[in-house]
Amino acid sequence: MTSQTNSATTVVYRVTGMTCGHCEGAVNSEISAIEGVTSVKADAAGGKVTVTATGPLDDEAIRAAVDKAGYELAGRA
C-alpha cells in the first residue's frame, strides 16, 4: 500500500522474522536513519512496517535497513 499527501509518501512493507517489541525497535531504528524518513511504525504481530517520508521511498534502501536489523523485507503490502 502506498499513499501520497502533498509531498509526503507512506508505504507499508511486509517484513518477516519480527516476533517482539525488540524486533520492532531494531527495524524502526535502522529505517529511521534513512534520509527523508519522518515516521516508522513496525508491527511484529502483523509482520508489517509503515514508513512515511518527505518524498518517494527507495525500496532498496528500506531493504538494506531491514537486512541490517536482521530481518527480511518481503515487499510492499
Q: What does the domain layout of the chain look like in residue ranges?
A: 2-76
Q: Can you name the residues that pair with 49 across neighbouring β-strands?
A: 13, 42
The pLDDT, as a whole number, for residue 6 is 67
CA 28 to centroid of chain Cα atoms: 7
Enumerate the β-bridge partners of residue 52: 10, 39
pLDDT: which is higher, 12 or 7: 12
26 vs 9: CA distance, rounded Å: 22
| One CATH from 3.20.20.140, 3.30.1360.170, 3.30.70.100, 3.30.360.10 for 2-76 | 3.30.70.100
pLDDT of residue 7: 78
